[in-house]
Amino acid sequence: MVSIRCKMIVKAELDRLGLQYGSVELGEADVKDTITEEQRSQLKSGLLLSGLELMDDKKAMLIDNIKKVIVEMIHYADALPEIKNSDYIGFKLNHSYTYLANLFSEATGTTIEHYIIAHKIDRVKELLLYDELSLTEISYKLNYSSVAHLSNQFKKITGLTPSYFKKLKTKRHNKF
């Protein structure tokens, strides 16, 4: 679950089944009632119709929580943590980072580090499009060691330099 729309869909399905619930947050719902197998099946089907998935598997839920921690850390926090990403993720999820990294890689086919880099580059793109921060400020905000490091990583992932990416936005804007 990654949006308000997802939460609304889950709430609507729980209401449809007459299930009492507390909070519905990103990736989890606090259901107060005992769910029968029939209700679980109906909930699973209802969620699938909306493109959502009911996750019963503890490992799948942990992988979802890893993704959630990374997204929140990069896209929604005012500043990235001052500690290493591995320490932060391990602390937030109360598991050894080695265990989390192995589980994540096995299930997704990519490393946590690559997942973080992909989200950082998405965040860089977003900040470049907002045009409120300089590349130096973006580099600092996302804990890059230097502007050159950010630029190299950006080009490696997107095939474009950050300045060229920004120019493309300007060119598209001027066409309209």
Kindly write down the DSSP assignment for every residue of 20-76, as one continuous string.
Answer: -EEEEETTEEEE-SPPPHHHHHHHHHHHHHTT------HHHHHHHHHHHHHHIIIII
DSSP strand pairing (28-31 vs 21-25): antiparallel
Lowest mean pLDDT among 8-17, 24-33, 93-102, 155-164: 24-33
CA angle in degrees (0–180, nearest 5) for 20-21-23: 165
pLDDT of residue 79: 81
- Whether residue 13 is predicted with pLDDT greater than 80 in this model: the reply is yes
Length of the chain: 176
Question: How large is the average pLDDT for residues 158-171?
Answer: 87
- Whether residue 26 is predicted with pLDDT greater than 70 in this model: the reply is no
Max Cα–Cα distance, the chain, nearest Å: 58
State how far Cα 119 lies from the chain centre. Answer: 8
Question: How large is the average pLDDT for residues 141-161?
Answer: 95
DSSP code of residue 20: -
Question: How large is the average pLDDT for residues 84-106?
Answer: 95
Kindly list the structural domains of the chain, giving each domain's residue range(s) and its CATH number in brackets, ordered by start: 4-54 (no CATH), 59-175 (1.10.10.60)
pTM over 0.75, yes/no: no
Q: Which of 28, 11, 117 is nearest to 64 (CA)?
A: 28
Residue 160 and residue 154: Cα distance in Å, rounded? 7
Helix or strand or coil: residue 159? coil
Are the C-beta atoms of 52 and 1 separated by less than 8 Å? yes
- Whether residue 103 is predicted with pLDDT greater than 90 in this model: the reply is yes
pLDDT of residue 167: 87
pLDDT of residue 60: 84
Banded model confidence at residue 146, pLDDT cuts 50, 70, 90: very high
Residue 129 and residue 124: Cα distance in Å, rounded? 9
- Whether residue 154 is predicted with pLDDT greater than 70 in this model: the reply is yes
Banded model confidence at residue 164, pLDDT cuts 50, 70, 90: very high
Question: How large is the average pLDDT for residues 91-114?
Answer: 95
- Unique residue bearing structure tokens 């990654």: 2
User: Which helix (H) or strand (E) element contains residue 13?
Assistant: helix 4-16
| Per-residue tokens: 43 | 């909930």
